[in-house]
């Protein structure tokens, strides 16, 4: 599975959009981009995933570049409860048991 690179930490003002980048320059054609987040002392929570089209759900939007070498998770109106570690993972379709977590980005949402 492809490796991802994320910034170690980011700050965001409450009520503003949080844009979390992820680089996955070695992604293969059959690898999906997944995002999870982990709030302190809890288990990770699935947010969204996509292959090549942009995706949106009630939690976030996922923007994948045309060459698929990077993506951005967007939390449109960040709240204090969105403070968490956000993990970007690429995973082969059909290779579900190889979900490997990296260090992620620690997002601090400030009032």
Partner 1 sequence: ETGVTQTPRHLVMGMTNKKSLKCEQHLGHNAMYWYKQSAKKPLELMFVYSLEERVENNSVPSRFSPECPNSSHLFLHLHTLQPEDSALYLCASSPYTGDDYGYTFGSGTRLTVV
Q: Which residues of the shown chain bind partner 1 in the complex (CB under 8 A)?
A: 32, 34, 36, 41-47, 49, 93-104
* Closest CB 93 distance from partner 1, rounded Å: 6
* Closest CB 96 distance from partner 1, rounded Å: 4
Q: Which is nearer to partner 1, 14 or 55 (CB)?
A: 55
Report which secondary-structure segment, H or E, holds 10: strand 9-13
Nearest to 63 by CA among 31, 21, 30, 91: 21
Nearest to 45 by CA among 97, 2, 84, 102: 84
Q: Which is nearer to partner 1, 29 or 94 (CB)?
A: 94
Q: Which is nearer to partner 1, 14 or 44 (CB)?
A: 44
């Amino acid at each position: 599975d492809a490796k991802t690179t994320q910034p170690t930490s980011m700050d965001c003002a409450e009520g503003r959009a949080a844009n979390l980048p992820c680089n996955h320059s070695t992604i293969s054609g059959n690898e999906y981009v997944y995002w999870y987040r982990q709030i302190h002392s809890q288990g990770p929570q699935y947010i969204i995933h996509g292959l090549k089209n942009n995706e949106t759900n009630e939690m976030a939007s996922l923007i994948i570049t045309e060459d698929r070498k990077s993506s951005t998770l967007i939390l449109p109106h960040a709240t204090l409860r969105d403070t968490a570690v956000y993990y970007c993972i690429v995973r082969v379709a059909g290779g579900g048991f190889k979900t490997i977590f990296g260090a992620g980005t620690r997002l601090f949402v400030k009032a």
